[in-house]
Amino acid sequence: MCGILAVLGCSDDSQAKRSHVLELSRRLKHRGPDWSGIYQHGDCYLSHQRLAIIDPGSGDQPLYNENKTIVVTVNGEIYNHEELRKRLPNHKFRTKSDCNVIAHLYEEHGENFINMLDGVFSFVLLDTRDKSFIVARDAIGITSLYIGWGLDGSVWISSELKGLHNDCEHFESFPPGHVYSSRAGSFRRWYTPPWFSEAIPSTPYNPVILRRAFENAVTKRLMTDVPFGVLLSGGLDSSLVASVASRHLAGTKAARQWGSQLHSFCVGLEGSPDLVAAREVADYLGTVHHEFHFSVQDGIDAIDDVIYHIETYDVTTIRASTPMFLMSRKIKSLGVKMVLSGEGADEIFGGYHYFHKAPNKEAFHQETCHKIKALHLYDCLRANKATSAWGLEARVPFLDKEFINVAMSIDPEWKMIKPEEKRMEKWILRKAFDDEKQPYLPKHILYRQKEQFSDGVGYSWIDGLKVHAEQHVTDKIMHNAQYIFTYNTPTIKEAYYYRMIFEKFFPQNSATLTVPGGPSVACSTAKAVEWDQAWSNNLDPSGRAALGVHNSAYERQPIDSKATIPAKFIDDMPRMIGVPTPELAIKS
């Protein structure tokens, strides 16, 4: 993923302004360490920090049409760019970059070309002929993007908050699946799939169609001119991504360049469930496996950097982002620039623990719709920014537009969790890849139960965070929390601790509002309570106490010895209720 920054109509075309835009753009250099570029047209500036994945030699940005009247700065990957080039026979392309098609498509179709793009993207396009511009973000919000407005009437666009938060009177998250047009002066939704209305679909489940759709989603993401790999936790989602990628890698351009043996990566505390499960899957698939360890104290030491890069104070996001942030640095040190990842399956198929309590298929389906629509604020934000912090790109095949259309058109009755019929969470996904003749995965992995990512890396990770927050946030501080933070008032000490760090980096009210509203307990828990009041006693936002959803209780891993944790607290730690054994409780 690259970093883009644009300042449009700022009423200042001075050298000092250009220098300031360059300075702000450098705040995004971690996203694109390979090259930087800037274009100025009067009081409009488009800058770019490049992570070179396709056409590293000549694909520097900004990009142009033939006569440079159309200028575009892009963060993203256009997977169907070769097909789109064939539709533009009368155009000359300056580079082989996949993103170069955007300027030419605009020439042919005006502002209505965006739904032709198959990929993930955030871009700013300036038409110098009339100084009009459009800004667009991909369907789900896999790429991060923010928009701000200055007192002088300027519009600011940045891949991250840190590029614009000091210069705008107001700023906010750019809505996924939308385009902003300067001609209209407003947003318009360009992504309008059938599932978005939340009407209950009725298409019968066909495992072959679902499997083929996912295989297509994975294989198109093998488009790369640089070394790559797959994030492998050993759970269902990442294991399926790795399995499909390893099957289809042979014969691709990537295999000819980098070899046909897939590289896989996992992170965890010493002896954590993810490390054990990932090693087993890697051995089965024959990947070149890389295992990274971290301690609780390593994670705690990184929290400030994590919050600065992830730009949120959401508790579950920070818990999960920290191991991913540490792993991404290790991966980049190996020379790898792109990884496949498994985000999105739980939202599409209802894989979270509380979906066990869904009262009917209508409620189940509508909740999956809500979860997908909110992904840009949680898992997509984490995956994009935790990797981009080190110049690494994460690609997420479960969030492929065509795959989502197929999966969300299935009658949700098939997705319902029915223990009496031996249907566990994400049963239709598991069944689609249950091939007796050519197994994608061993049965016990294919049907392994889900674990939260922040638990899978080591059960003492979250406990260590809670203890650390306990040492820095007193009861007196929590008593006055409602007066200090009137929006999203923290209700637990861990949330307060993260909020203090966030406010240090991003003190503006607009920044605070970019994090979703509501209590510190996650929205999923709120829905669980609505479906079953027994969940009301679960105060942890990760939903760790699954209330009988899992098979049996387990003993936690010991707290990491490097972390400073009072012995009394360890002795007093309550045991979790109704969660799985380490053999079964591996992250999906």
- Is 551 exposed, middle or buried, given 0-12, 13-18 or 19+ CB atoms closer than 10 A? middle
Q: Provide the pLDDT confidence category of residue 455 given band limits of 50, 70 and 90.
A: low
Min mean pLDDT across 327-331, 403-407, 584-588 is at: 584-588
Cα→Cα distances 376→136, 144, 176, Å: 14, 8, 7
Instruction: Show the domain range for 404.
Output: 207-450+460-572
Whether residues 58 and 93 share a domain: the answer is yes
At 383-392, the pLDDT tens digits run: 999 999 999 9
- Tell me: do 258 and 323 sit in the same domain: yes
Q: Is the dihedral angle over the CA atoms 472, 379, 166, 304 positive or is it negative?
A: positive
The reported pLDDT for the residue numbered 520 is 39
The pTM assigned to this predicted structure is 0.91
pLDDT higher for 113 or 538?
A: 113
Please indicate, yes or no, whether residues 8 and 72 belong to a single structural domain of this protein: yes
Chain center to CA of 496: 24
Q: pLDDT tens digits for 462-502?
A: 999 999 999 999 999 999 999 999 999 999 999 999 999 99
Assigned domain for 197 exists: no
Query: How would you class 425 by CB atoms within 10 Å of its CB: exposed for 0-12, middle for 13-18, buried for 19 or more?
Result: buried
Query: Are 134 and 246 part of one and the same domain?
Result: no
Which parts of 162-216 are beta strand (E)? Answer: 170-173, 178-181, 186-189
pLDDT digits (tens, 9 = 90+) for 142-160: 999 999 999 999 999 999 9
| Spatial separation of the C-alpha atoms in residues 145 and 137, rounded to whole Å | 7
Asked, for residue 434, whether it belongs to a domain, the answer is: yes
Strand order in the sheet with 3-8: 35-41, 44-50, 3-8, 155-158, 146-149, 170-173
574 pLDDT band, cuts 50/70/90, is: very low
2 is annotated as an active-site residue: yes
**Residue 348's domain is classified under what CATH number?**
3.40.50.620
Q: How far apart are alpha carbons 208 and 187 in whole angstroms?
A: 38
Cα 371 versus chain centre, distance: 13
What is the mean predicted confidence (pLDDT) over 227-252? 94
What HEC string does 311-345 produce? Answer: CCCCHHHHHHHHHHHHHHHHHHHCCCCEEECCCCH
Same domain as 232, residue 159? no
- Say yes or no to pLDDT of 381 above 90: yes
Q: Is the pLDDT of residue 273 over 70?
A: yes
> In the prediction, which pLDDT does 438 show?
94
Residue 475 makes CB contacts below 8 A (sequence gap 6+) with: none
Cβ-based neighbours of 84, under 8 Å, separated by 6 or more: 78, 101, 105, 116, 117
CB 39 within 8 A of CB 10: no
Q: How much is the pLDDT for 535?
A: 67
The answer on 177 and 240 residing in a single domain is no
The burial of 315, by beta-carbon neighbours within 10 Å (0-12 exposed, 13-18 middle, 19 or more buried), is given as buried
The residue annotated as part of the active site, out of 2, 10, 44, 380, is 2
Cross-strand partners of 291? 266
Spatial CB neighbours of 15, under 8 Å, sequence gap ≥ 6: none
- Angle formed by the axes of helices 493-505 and 296-310, nearest 10°: 50
Which pLDDT score, from 0 to 100, does residue 548 have?
A: 60
Across 1-15, 168-182, 246-260, 264-278, least confident range: 246-260
Q: Which two tokens stand for residue 166?
A: 């000091």
Q: How far is residue 447's CA from residue 427's CA, in Å, rounded to a whole number?
A: 8
Nearest CA-CA partner of 544 in 293, 299, 354: 354
Distance between CA atoms of residues 60 and 27, nearest Å: 18
pLDDT tens for residues 515-563? Answer: 997 543 344 567 877 887 776 666 666 655 555 665 533 333 333 333 3
Residue 171 lies in a domain: yes
Q: Quick one: pLDDT band at residue 258, thresholds 50, 70, 90?
A: confident
| Under 8 Å between Cβ of 278 and 458 | no
Structure tokens at 168: 């705008």
Q: How far is CA 238 from the centre of its chain?
A: 14
Gap between the Cα atoms of 459 and 582, Å rounded: 10
Q: Is the same domain home to 122 and 59?
A: yes
Number of domains present in the structure of the chain: 2
What band does 132 get if pLDDT is binned at 50, 70 and 90?
A: very high
pLDDT digits (tens, 9 = 90+) for 415-428: 999 999 989 999 99
Overall average pLDDT of the 318-343 stretch:
97
Task: Return the pLDDT at 528.
Answer: 75
Query: In Å, how far from its chain's centre is CA 186?
Result: 26
- Cβ neighbours of 391 (radius 10 Å): 23
Establish if 527 belongs to a structural domain: yes
Nearest to 399 by CA among 241, 223, 250: 241
Q: State residue 578's pLDDT score.
A: 29
Strand partners, 122: 75, 137
455 found inside a domain: no
The answer on 237 and 118 residing in a single domain is: no
Structural contact between residues 171 and 145, judged by C-beta atoms closer than 8 angstroms: no
| Lowest-pLDDT range of 11-15, 135-139, 407-411 | 11-15
Co-location of 84 and 228 in the same domain: no
Is the residue at 322 inside a domain? yes
Shared domain for 154 and 269, answered yes or no, is no
Query: How confident is the prediction for the chain on average, in pLDDT?
Result: 89
Half-sphere exposure of 566 (CA within 13 A, CB side): 10
Please indicate, yes or no, whether residues 246 and 111 belong to a single structural domain of this protein: no
State the CB neighbour count (10 A cutoff) for residue 214.
24
CATH of the domain at 122: 3.60.20.10
Q: How far apart are CA 407 and CA 368, in angstroms?
A: 11
For the stretch 11-44, pLDDT in tens is 899 999 999 999 999 999 999 999 999 999 999 9
Q: Are residues 402 and 500 in the same domain?
A: yes
Q: Is the pLDDT of residue 180 over 90?
A: yes
Please tell me the predicted confidence (pLDDT) of residue 182. Answer: 97
What would the two tokens of residue 432 be? 């689609």
Residue 318 and residue 304: Cα distance in Å, rounded?
10
- The pLDDT of residue 186: 96
Burial track 487-507 (b if 16+ CB lie within 10 A, e otherwise): ebbbebbbbbbbbbbbbeebe
- Distance from C-alpha of 507 to C-alpha of 224, rounded to nearest angstrom: 39
Estimate the crossing angle of helix 296-310 against helix 379-388, to 10 degrees: 100
Specify if 578 maps to a domain: no
Q: Would you say residue 200 lies in a domain? A: no
Q: Is 483 exposed, middle or buried (0-12, 13-18, 19+ CB in 10 A)?
A: exposed
pLDDT band (50, 70, 90) for residue 293: very high
Distance CA 159, CA 304 (A): 20
Q: Cα–Cα distance between 353 and 588 in angstroms, integer?
A: 11
What local confidence, expressed as pLDDT, does residue 243 receive? 97
Contacts of 571 (CB under 8 A, 6+ apart): none
Distance from C-alpha of 531 to C-alpha of 346, rounded to nearest angstrom: 18
Final residue in a domain of this structure, among 145, 165, 192 = 192
